[in-house]
A = this chain, B = another copy of it.
Amino acid sequence: MRRSTARNSGTDLDEASQKNDIATQDEAGSGQNGESLGSSSITSQAYSRLRSDIMSGALTPGKKLKIEELRGRYDFGSSPIREALSMLTSDLFVERIDQRGFRVADVSEKEFDELLRTRRWLEERALRESIAHGDNRWEEQVVLSAYRLSRVPRSQADDQFVANQEWEIRHKHFHMALLAACPSSIMLKFCDQLYDQNVRYRHLSGSKAYPSRDINAEHNAITDAVLERNADLAVELLMSHYSTTGNFLKQKLSPKKKA
């Protein structure tokens, strides 16, 4: 979405480039925004705050988003809020009902199933295309992002789970790097969107006690398969990577059917 114009072909992996990449990979954001908190328009700030409050669950799924209330909560004018909500609508984080305002997108096991399913479809395609079209530079980016991801712990604490923002960022970066050579920016945009949706579910399911499986190993296996250009294997690994996480989340999501 925001990739550096990157038309410098071939090999370049110098220090400067690395630092830039690191500096650039923050501020996830599904696409529309592009600006960071701090600077820029009030609308963008509102967008960021609302977005993260929805993703974190601070704003409950299905909750009515009353302008007046938000105006108080964040101390922005109503125009920026309205505009931000509009933007969040395209990210599937907010639903708008004509003449009846906005509400936080609802979640359900059914929706989650659909999300996961769709993600599989799109990412399989995107990964195959990416493997088929990727050049050297792409390979390097995969290696690099895999390495960077591995350098940072999933949880900030050892005994219990404490979300590590930096891990989140690098994790997304890694998964997007896998797909990056897919020759369709639209496709990448969709995958980006769905990825973020998934993160939301992960947060909402409050997966504090995260699974003990060796996620790093899984990532490495995928990386290897990708570098060998073994599309079938890479896809298989990626898909089961998602299935595992998915089932785990689903289980946490609906602790009802127990008896």
Q: Contact residues of A with B, CB < 8 Å?
A: 32-35, 40-41, 43-44, 79, 82-83, 86-87, 89-90, 92, 96, 98-99, 114-115, 117-118, 121-122, 125, 183-187, 190, 194
Q: Shortest CB–CB separation between residue A196 and chain B, in angstroms? A: 13
- How many angstroms between the C-alpha atoms of A126 and B147 in the bound complex? 35
Contact of A86 among B33, B44, B86, B92 (CB under 8 A): B86
Residues of B within 8 A of A98 (CB): 33-35, 40-41, 43-44
Q: Shortest CB–CB separation between residue A99 and chain B, in angstroms? A: 5
- How many angstroms between the C-alpha atoms of A187 and B87 in the bound complex? 20
Contact of A99 among B41, B79, B117, B183 (CB under 8 A): B41
> Are A118 and B187 closer than 8 Å at their CB atoms?
yes
A117 to B, closest residue via Cβ: B184
- How many angstroms between the C-alpha atoms of A37 and B201 in the bound complex? 36
Residues of B within 8 A of A190 (CB): 190
Contact of A114 among B44, B83, B183 (CB under 8 A): B183
- How many angstroms between the C-alpha atoms of A179 and B194 in the bound complex? 20
A125 to B, closest residue via Cβ: B121
- How many angstroms between the C-alpha atoms of A258 and B183 in the bound complex? 26
- Of A92, A98, A115, A183, which is in contact with the most chain B CB atoms at under 10 Å from its CB? A98
> Are A114 and B32 closer than 8 Å at their CB atoms?
no
Q: Shortest CB–CB separation between residue A39 and chain B, in angstroms? A: 10
Contact of A184 among B33, B35, B44, B118 (CB under 8 A): B118
Q: Shortest CB–CB separation between residue A61 and chain B, in angstroms? A: 16
- How many angstroms between the C-alpha atoms of A187 and B34 in the bound complex? 25
Residues of B within 8 A of A186 (CB): 92, 114-115, 118, 194
Residues of B within 8 A of A44 (CB): 98
A44 to B, closest residue via Cβ: B98
Residues of B within 8 A of A187 (CB): 114, 118, 121
Residues of B within 8 A of A34 (CB): 98
Residues of B within 8 A of A194 (CB): 186
Residues of B within 8 A of A35 (CB): 98
Q: Shortest CB–CB separation between residue A214 and chain B, in angstroms? A: 31
Residues of B within 8 A of A115 (CB): 186
Contact of A90 among B89, B117, B183, B184 (CB under 8 A): B89
- How many angstroms between the C-alpha atoms of A185 and B79 in the bound complex? 31
Residues of B within 8 A of A114 (CB): 183-187
